[in-house]
Amino acid sequence: MEEEIEDIAGIRIICQFEEDIDTVAAMIRDRSDMVIKSEKNYLKHIKQSGYRSYHLIIYYTVDTIKGPKKLQAEIQIRTMAMNFWATIEHSLQYKYKGDMPGHVAERLSKAADAINALDHEMSSVRNEIMDAQNSSQMQRNLITDILNNIENLYKVTNKREVEKIQDEFYHIYAQNDLQELKRFHKELDLIAEGYRAQAITDEL
């Protein structure tokens, strides 16, 4: 009997962002102790009520006093916003005993659209923050390389030439222009490589 019930056990996984849902679902598919029976994507195929979530029905083997038994379980994956909406909708369905008034259902549907817009907006905000963090890290790496190159140039060429290069770097750094910094970094690499090659030739 238990083997036939799909939700004798249930797990709800709450994600911060909608794109995390695919990542979590992939992690579940990769598990060796679970077998996926079916998947229902209510993110792409939204229910008429506005319900959005990702469901998986899995087979999972548990140890009992009578030996191993394969049971089915349901895993629901959704965002915090989706879960908030689903909790309210479930409570109202219970209150109205499945016969929800049309005007309430309509307001819930509009709220579901707002929840969807909120999830997308939060994902966009996260992407902007991540892009900014990546740009900042790239800028720090470029500056470190440039300063190392300038320091090494003092060892292989005359001080005046290096000071000119250093002044140009300070000017570009003050502009806070990542593209200009990339250009200068590339040019400085070529200059430094040329001086290193010349130093090796002189030694020979």
Residues annotated as part of the active site = 74
Q: How far apart are CA 74 and CA 87, in angstroms?
A: 17
Tokens 């909708």 -> residue: 89
The number of C-alpha atoms within 13 Å of 183 and in the hemisphere containing its C-beta is 8
Query: What Rg do the C-alpha atoms of the chain give, in angstroms?
Result: 30
Q: How far apart are CA 150 and CA 105, in angstroms?
A: 67
- The DSSP-derived string for 40-94 is EETTTS--TT----EEEEEEEEEEETTEEEEEEEEEEEEEHHHHHHHHHHHHHHH
The sign one gets for the Cα dihedral 3, 5, 9, 11 is positive
Q: How far apart are CA 122 and CA 131, in angstroms?
A: 14
